[in-house]
Amino acid sequence: MCWFFEDDSNVEYDYKRLRKDLENEYAIQSATFSGGFGFCQMLDVSRASEQELIKMAKREGFNLRKYRK
């Protein structure tokens, strides 16, 4: 394993805070430029599993270290 790849399998995250921050991010995107698409993504966050939250956060460029417990 390379030092620049993180292994998420044994890391605990504050999923409640991550979910809230992702919902806020998509709400802002919805209001500013993406409209309905951002709104739909915001709804997806509310139903997402923990693994899906991690994928969404990575896609949006979130610093996941901030959410480690």
> pLDDT for 16-51, tens place per residue?
999 999 999 988 888 877 667 767 888 889 999 999
3-state secondary structure of 23: helix
Nearest to 42 by CA among 18, 22, 16: 22
Whole-prediction pTM value?
Answer: 0.77
Q: Please report, for residues 2, 11, 12, 52, the alpha-carbon distance to residue 45 in angstroms, rounded to integers and kept in the order given.
A: 30, 20, 18, 8
Identify the pLDDT of residue 9.
63
Q: With 90 as the cut, is the pLDDT of residue 13 above it?
A: yes
Identify the pLDDT of residue 54.
95
Higher pLDDT, 15 or 44: 15
pLDDT in tens, 47-61: 999 999 999 999 999
